[in-house]
Structure 1
Amino acid sequence: MSLMKSLLAGSAMAVLSTGAALADPALIYDLGGKFDKSFNEAGFMGAQRWVEETGGSYRELEMQSEAQREQALRRLAESGSNPIVMVGFAFGDVLTQVAGDYPDTRFAIIDMVVEAPNVQSIVFTEQEGSYLAGVMAGMASETGTVGFIGGMDIPLIHKFHCGFAQGFKSVQPEGRVLMNFTGTTPAAWNDPVRGSELARAQKSQGADVIYAAAGGTGIGVLQAAADEGILSIGVDSNQNALHPGQVLTSMVKRVDNAVFDAFTAGTDLEPGIRVMDLAAEGVDVAVDENNADLVTAEMQAAVDEARAAITSGEVEVHDYMTDNTCPAA
């Protein structure tokens, strides 16, 4: 039996609850796995919260390769899972092909827009949360040089970089933002060794704060920054606790809320585009006991001021994906 068949057959399908009902929702993680301490894990936490609050059960599936996407989606739809939530833009093409074949199934895709009458597309304003992280980096940096390390070199991740650079430059107009990407294939999301190498290279160029938007690869960035005695910024999930006192903040994307809300809506999930922005608490920066000593009163005040200005429209954070440019870079 092939790996894909074993994953999708019976109990080997990674069903969270044996005896799941036909209308149970399902969650498909992207490459990197549900315990990536980042994007996928945020989705997992949302599903778990739904279980705790409702007593329900759900199916989950971890992708092992790109080739599995369509078969996984079809098997879940045919098994009666509804709604089916996909964590990651890479499901976009497959969902476009599959959604119409299952008109009675509701689908939700995170980080991609798929236009179909039974699909909810959930997008985040990553640039807004990254702007706040940039403000914090600008106030924390003593060298005037900070770094950004992205995973796969795609426009979505440039959104993070561009917002971060704009926020940093609002504090240090003459400062410098170094930028590197891990790669151009999906493997870029799960290469902590390469992330560590890039972080050390940026540190050698003067960076004393490095923002990682790279999925599982970011774990290597945060580890290297801690080893080198500089600050890092986590992403997607709150990663402050990975290296207490050495992670300046984490730019959290509330993927957990997106999954929780989709599961809660169930078969009544509304199609269309759902924007989770700063005003809707879809993105933000995390402050907790693990980074409290790094966040001065002045820094917190600056973040609060920037948050209010963005929410009111006084400050517009550039969205790289509107024109594929980054004025602040």
Structure 2
Amino acid sequence: MRRAILLFSLLLAVTFAASKFSVGILITGEIGGNAIYELVQKGALEMASEEIEIKIVEGGYNQSKWEQMLISLAALGRYDLLMTFTEGMPASVNKVAEMFPNQKFALLDGIIENPLPNTYSVAFKDDEMTFLAGIFAALITSSSLPGANEEKVVGLIAGDTYPAMTNVMRPSFENGVKTVDPSIRVFFGVVGSWSDPARGSELAAKQFDAGADVILSIAGGSGIGVIEEASVRGKYVITVDSNMISMNPSVILGSFLKHIDVLVKNTIADAKAGTLPFGTSKRVGIAEGMIDYTHDDPNFVRNVPDDIRAQLAEWFEKIKAEGLPKINNE
């Protein structure tokens, strides 16, 4: 009798384990020091439960290995959903999805233009985020803040060059700046690495020397050097992805946010419920509640003048209701 009960208990345990919804997550990079992947980890682990199993794999910064790692995860045949990230992965996801037609894939923060029936992708409207950051930078350089000089110059430092930066983020940032004042100059620099603070500091120094008083940092771990250089000089930095103001409230005046933790959670929940629309792709932004900024952060409220906060809030609501304004670049 005891043996029968033991066997029955083991059978129940195996059945329960097999019934768990299993999610494999391939991080295209490393979590530590990367704001966006720290949010991914947070959202994913909040979904872990007796019904949902989460496995997170860090792919590192060698991009040539990411596709093979995705193939290896798919070949295991143990995941109900494989999730990965960034604009660098659409071709790889499609390729692996063709190899494993019974495996479901979700690409976040990147778009698959011709999705297969077993793929789903959703990207952020990065143009909304960086346009708003451009508005903010222009208002800062035009202000009477202690760190703002008489020259109307702002900067953007990127971790690397990639299509979303070249075609979307940089031009949208510049458009935001020029919308406030067409005479403002915009510097652009590329670190060439997401984990080189020394090089980030060096580029920031060059931009500050040339008259910039505020820099938008989209540089991952390299952005630490940008913040440190700004701190030494009494200048300002704007960050993206997560709220980094607390790192140095007198330097980081504001952060523009991607709620990727919420997106991860929603994607996993919908996939488990069988309602994730595989075979489709979409973009989400301010109107969908996925892009925001640190409007209610106490340091932001304390350190940013009322008129700048009011104008930024007005632009946020305008984009939420109407989308981005059409820019005449002629």
Q: TM-score range by the shorter chain?
A: 0.7 to 0.9
Alignment deviations for residues 191-239 of structure 1 (CA, whole Å, 9 cap, x no partner)? 2221111111101011110001122222222222222211101111221
Q: Matched residue of 1:280: which SS?
A: coil
Alignment deviations for residues 238-284 of structure 1 (CA, whole Å, 9 cap, x no partner)? 21122122101112122212211111123422221121111112222
1:144 to 132, 152, 164: 152
Name the amino acid aligned to 1:122.
Answer: V
With the length of structure 2 as denominator, give the TM-score of the two structures.
Answer: 0.82
Name the amino acid aligned to 1:80.
Answer: R
Structure 2 counterpart of 1:97:
95
Measure the CA separation in 2 of the matches of 1:300 and 1:121.
34
Q: Matched residue of 1:152: which SS?
A: coil
Q: Percent identity?
A: 28
Measure the CA separation in 1 of the matches of 2:251 and 2:48.
33
Q: Which has the larger radius of gyration?
A: 2
Moved more, 57-66 or 264-273: 264-273
1:57 aligns with 2:57: no
Q: 1:106 to 1:236 in 2, by over 3 A?
A: same
Shift of 1:178: 0.7
Structure 2 counterpart of 1:275:
283
Shift of 1:39: 2.3
Moved more, 66-75 or 144-153: 66-75
Measure the CA separation in 1 of the matches of 2:284 and 2:323.
19
1:106 aligns with 2:77: no
2:37 to 4, 27, 40: 40
Q: Matched residue of 2:159: which SS?
A: strand
1:218 aligns with 2:232: no
Q: Is the 8 A contact 2:33 2:221 kept in 1?
A: yes
Q: Which has the higher contact order (CA 8 A, sep 6+)?
A: 1
Q: 1:219 to 1:55 in 2, by over 3 A?
A: farther
- Large movers: runs of 4+ above 6 Å: 19-22
Alignment deviations for residues 18-72 of structure 1 (CA, whole Å, 9 cap, x no partner)? x8976311221112x11224222221222133238x8743000111333432332
Matches within 5 A, 1:58-137: 58-64=54-60, 65-77=62-74, 78-114=76-112, 115-137=115-137
Q: Is the 8 A contact 1:251 1:283 kept in 2?
A: yes
2:253 to 248, 254, 261: 248
Measure the CA separation in 2 of the matches of 1:278 and 1:195.
29
Name the amino acid aligned to 1:229.
Answer: G
Moved more, 275-284 or 307-316: 307-316
Q: 1:50 to 1:179 in 2, by over 3 A?
A: same
Root mean square deviation, CA, Å: 2.4
Measure the CA separation in 2 of the matches of 1:90 and 1:220.
25
Q: 1:82 to 1:245 in 2, by over 3 A?
A: farther
1:156 aligns with 2:164: yes
Structure 1 gaps, min length 5: 1-18, 319-325
2:27 to 26, 29, 32: 29
Pairs aligned (count): 297
Measure the CA separation in 2 of the matches of 1:220 and 1:57.
37
